[in-house]
Amino acid sequence: MFYELKKSGLKVEKQKPLPLVYEEVKLEIGYRVDLIIENKVVLEIKSVEALNDVQLAQVLTYLKLSNCKLGLLINFNVTLIKNGIRRVVNNL
């Protein structure tokens, strides 16, 4: 789905499918990214006890497949939201 935030003019894609290619097998919808903003920033939203390496690897995979450089892994299951945000970069 594609949204354009009227006040800010940002292009936001929600639940954007990413293809997965492994050897000769291609899946049109291998993954679904929570949000992609301006084709530059990947946002992955979680509500878990604690962020772990699996979720970090997930965001890195999304960054590589979408050709984005910056990702934010956000966990809403924290007392202070600033403690639940992890910045993830791809080849910076």
Enter the pTM of the model: 0.82
pLDDT in tens, 25-35: 777 777 889 99
pLDDT category at 91 given cuts 50, 70, 90 is confident
Q: Exposed, middle or buried by CB within 10 Å (0-12, 13-18, 19+), for 36?
A: buried
pLDDT in tens, 59-78: 999 999 899 999 999 999 99
Q: Exposed, middle or buried by CB within 10 Å (0-12, 13-18, 19+), for 7?
A: exposed
pLDDT in tens, 44-60: 999 999 999 999 999 99
CA 91 to chain centre: 16
